Amino acid sequence: MSSATLLIDNIGELSTQHWQDRTPAAAAESVLHDAAVVFEGERVAWVGPSSSAPAADERYDAGGRAALPGWVDSHSHLVFAGDRTAEFEARMAGQAYAAGGIGVTMAATREASDDELRLLLKARVAEAAAGGTTYLETKTGYGLDVPNERRSAELAAGAVDEVTYLGAHLVPAGTDPDEYTELVCGEMLEAVRPYVRWADVFCERGAFTEEQSRRVLAACREEGLGLRVHGNQLGPGAGVRLAVEVGAASVDHVNFLDDADVEALASSWGDWSGPGSSEGTGTVATVLPACDLSTRAPLAPARRLLDAGVEIAIASNCNPGTSYTSSISFCVTTGVLQMGLNVQEAIRAATFGGALALGRHVGLDEDGQRAVGSVAVGHRADLQLLDAPSATHLAYRPGMPLTYAVWRAGERVR
């Protein structure tokens, strides 16, 4: 039995993000005018000009508004209780950011009940969806003991699309770092494994050394998890090159890069045949503009990375300490106004780039999941409308609430 169909027509500008390569010509070809999209259940069934659109069971008139894929947020930390306003105020008064505030959130999260955390998580996911996010990754990392990491993973698995194990977020105070690393690689990993697809490590001074990070990543790979790395946020370090060495899908933050880091990332993409392929993908550099602004860090060099041939993603890093926002629109705006990207490059990084960082950019994968991050036949029916005639208004009218309507897997969620 076929699924119901929905025609969304009279789209003034449709930014499909279905690029064949990263040339300006491909970018231009991915933007359609006076366009339409047909959803069949959870999938995109047709894309093209409104004048040629097929009949459907239902019709939605976009009223000449701009449409683009739903945001794919490939980096967030949503399972937590409490906030860190005092830390934020201190940072705004001139104190430097350090990773130690994670312990404050750990304590509040451990004290919260399952129901409290579930309600907080549900509200954050709904807030992200209202802002156009239709595919969402989140991490553990505020439990930092076996029962609380397991609890965080289980709660996240019931609320978001992708769950990442981040037991290696910080060594809890009073704990031996090597002993804690062994726990992360052993009993804790075993406890969270049923709920997670990815593993991450904070390879940074004050967190985990290169050797400890390598041990965590090796243990998680043995358990079949995909790999991610927090790296080069607080200063130059080993995170980026370690991520490339182990074949991590993404290395995130990347604020402090030298030429060798950029070259390593670029070389990881040497065998990739393009957006339609899952073979030969390298390590995505995920930039986190809201975090950079909140911590007053040097902005990640997004323009330099793109020009070197590195694929980038833009994500929120929504967390209570350094980036308490789920607004990908804000991050895209920052990418354009402050990081040297043009509008289509920034949108691509926050849609297709996020999907690439999560290995969800092509076809039906081994889990039977449809591709996200671009509007193309066979992909998941994720779409957002802006209350504006073109996507350029995201940066042209910064801070304005332009998200007008949102569909996730064919279902309207705003």
For position 22, which CATH number holds? 2.30.40.10
Q: What is the CATH number of the domain that holds 295?
A: 3.20.20.140
Q: How far is CA 24 from the centre of its chain?
A: 24
Which residue bears the tokens 């996200």? 372
State yes or no: 322 annotated in a binding site.
Answer: yes
368 within a domain of the structure (yes/no): no
State yes or no: 70 annotated in a binding site.
Answer: no
181 within a domain of the structure (yes/no): yes
The tally of domains found in the chain comes to 2
Let me know whether 139 and 248 are in one domain.
yes
Beta-bridge partners for 164: 139, 198
3-state secondary structure of 266: helix
Let me know whether 222 and 102 are in one domain.
yes
State yes or no: 321 annotated in a binding site.
Answer: yes
State yes or no: 230 annotated in a binding site.
Answer: yes
Q: What is the pLDDT of residue 99?
A: 62
Q: What is the spatial distance between Cα 253 and Cα 338, in angstroms, rounded to a whole number? A: 16
State yes or no: 10 annotated in a binding site.
Answer: no
Let me know whether 261 and 378 are in one domain.
no
pTM for the model? 0.96
State yes or no: 233 annotated in a binding site.
Answer: yes
Q: What is the spatial distance between Cα 241 and Cα 251, in angstroms, rounded to a whole number? A: 9
Question: What's the domain range around 122?
Answer: 71-357
Let me know whether 104 and 134 are in one domain.
yes
C-alpha dist (Å) from residue 408 to 44, 129, 307, 312, 372: 11, 9, 32, 23, 10
The answer for residues whose C-beta is within 8 angstroms of residue 33's C-beta and 6 or more apart is: 12, 13, 14
Let me know whether 313 and 164 are in one domain.
yes
Q: What is the spatial distance between Cα 114 and Cα 40, in angstroms, rounded to a whole number? A: 36
Let me know whether 170 and 252 are in one domain.
yes
State yes or no: 361 annotated in a binding site.
Answer: no
Let me know whether 132 and 99 are in one domain.
yes
State yes or no: 75 annotated in a binding site.
Answer: yes
138 within a domain of the structure (yes/no): yes
Q: How do strand 411-412 and strand 383-386 relate by DSSP bridges?
A: unpaired
367 within a domain of the structure (yes/no): no
| DSSP summary character for residue 208 | B
Q: What is the pLDDT of residue 278?
A: 77
Q: Identify the helix (H) or strand (E) that includes residue 284.
A: strand 284-287
Let me know whether 20 and 75 are in one domain.
no
Strands (E), 160-256: 162-168, 198-203, 226-231, 250-253
The answer for residues whose C-beta is within 8 angstroms of residue 382's C-beta and 6 or more apart is: 69, 70, 134, 135, 372, 407, 408, 409
Let me know whether 48 and 140 are in one domain.
no
Per-residue pLDDT of the chain (414 residues; tens, 9 = 90+): 478 999 999 999 999 998 767 777 777 889 999 999 999 999 999 999 999 999 999 999 999 999 999 999 999 999 999 999 989 998 899 888 766 689 899 999 999 999 999 999 999 999 999 999 999 999 999 999 999 999 999 999 999 999 999 999 999 999 999 999 999 999 999 999 999 999 999 999 999 999 999 999 999 999 999 999 999 999 999 999 999 999 999 999 999 999 999 999 999 999 888 887 778 899 999 999 999 999 999 999 999 999 999 999 999 999 999 999 999 999 999 999 999 999 999 999 999 999 999 999 987 655 678 999 999 999 999 999 999 999 999 999 999 999 999 999 999 999
369 within a domain of the structure (yes/no): no
State yes or no: 253 annotated in a binding site.
Answer: no
3-state secondary structure of 246: helix
Beta-bridge partners for 7: 38, 59
State yes or no: 379 annotated in a binding site.
Answer: no
State yes or no: 169 annotated in a binding site.
Answer: yes
Among residues 90, 225, 91, the alpha carbon closest in space to that of 168 is found at: 225
Let me know whether 326 and 408 are in one domain.
no
Q: How far is CA 348 from the centre of its chain?
A: 12
Strands (E), 87-180: 133-139, 162-168
Let me know whether 383 and 278 are in one domain.
no
Q: What is the pLDDT of residue 277?
A: 79
Q: What is the pLDDT of residue 387?
A: 99
The single-letter code of the amino acid at 181 is T
How far the first Cα of the chain sits from its last, in Å, is 27
310 within a domain of the structure (yes/no): yes
Let me know whether 94 and 230 are in one domain.
yes
Q: What is the pLDDT of residue 5?
A: 97
